[in-house]
Amino acid sequence: MLRGGAFKPRSSPYSFQGLGLEGLEILARVREEIGMPVVTEAIGSEVIDQVAEFSDMVQIGARNMQNYPLLRRAGQCGRPVLLKRSFGSTLTELLLAAEYILDQGNDQVVLCERGIRTFVDHSRNTLDLSIIPAVEKISHLPLIVDPSHAAGDPTKVGPLSRAAIAAGADGLMVEVHERPEEALSDGQQALLPDEFDQLMSEIRRLAPVVGRSNEVLVRS
């Protein structure tokens, strides 16, 4: 799938906030041109209908993991939902957040581990690989990993990606940009297209070894 942020919840109100409806229309045109389904984030209940209309999957970002009215609306939107773990939430809190969506009759939910906040300063966040077997043990929901947001550094994305698949993740969400220095958001952690292709070649060799031969790969 192709992930792009039409609406961008940012820590600073002065940072790029996305293109809104124009961004959704761009994603829809790209889908038509390349035949690739798209996933994009709904940052509030007021935009979720627009997001559901233009995308194939609705993302609920880490900042909104416990926005319960939004989770309920996501469960009613008629699209599969990608639910990202908040940087300070437990496994139980993540699964209960998913229950808000499931409770509305939407059983198409994918969880996403994107790193938690700890005391370390060598990465943007700390990727919690231990949540992968924990989710697999007690939940039927698939879980993918976002190594880009966890690392904040493209040189760490490859090792974290391989580790995530080896630990049993069902897929990856990887930031890619042709000119990272010109990216309006998260360019500092994006892989170049050639680097992404190399990583996917490695993952496709590794995945069957750990029973993940049909992994979902989300490129953003």
Do 83 and 72 form a contact (C-beta atoms < 8 A)? no
Phi, psi at 103, each rounded to 5°: -65, -20
pLDDT digits (tens, 9 = 90+) for 98-131: 999 999 999 999 999 999 999 998 999 999 999 9
Containing 84, the helix (H) or strand (E) segment is strand 81-84
The pLDDT value recorded for residue 8 is 78
* Distance set, CA 84 to CA 7, 21, 60, 183, 210 (Å): 15, 22, 6, 22, 24
Quote the Cα angle for 11-21-172, to 5°.
60
Does residue 52 have a pLDDT over 80?
A: yes
pLDDT at residue 75, rounded to an integer:
97
Beta bridge partner(s), residue 120: none
> Stretch 7-14: mean pLDDT, rounded?
77
Kindly write down the DSSP assignment for every residue of 133-184, as one continuous string.
HHHHHH--S-EEE-HHHHHSSHHHHHHHHHHHHHTT-SEEEE-B-SSGGG-S
Question: What pLDDT, on a 0 to 100 scale, did the predictor assign at position 65?
Answer: 97
Lowest mean pLDDT among 18-22, 76-80, 99-103: 18-22
Q: Average of pLDDT values for 215-220?
A: 56
Q: Rg of the chain over CA atoms, in angstroms?
A: 16
Q: Which two tokens stand for residue 1?
A: 């799938």
pLDDT one-digit tens code per residue, 178-208: 998 887 787 889 999 999 999 999 999 998 8
* CATH class of the domain comprising 2-219: alpha beta
> What b/e string do you get for 59-97 counting C-beta neighbours within 10 Å, with b at 16 or more?
bbbbebbbbeebbbbbbebebbbbbbbbbebebeebbeb
Is the distance from CB of 166 to CB of 158 less than 8 angstroms?
no
Query: What pLDDT does 16 receive?
Result: 72
Give the CA diameter of the chain.
46
| Mean pLDDT, all residues of the chain | 91
Amino acid 217: pLDDT: 55
Measured CA distances, 97 to 45, 49, 70, 139, 190 (Å): 16, 20, 10, 13, 28
Tokens read off for 214: 């049909």
Tens of pLDDT, residues 125-182: 999 999 999 999 999 999 999 999 999 999 999 999 999 999 999 999 999 999 988 8
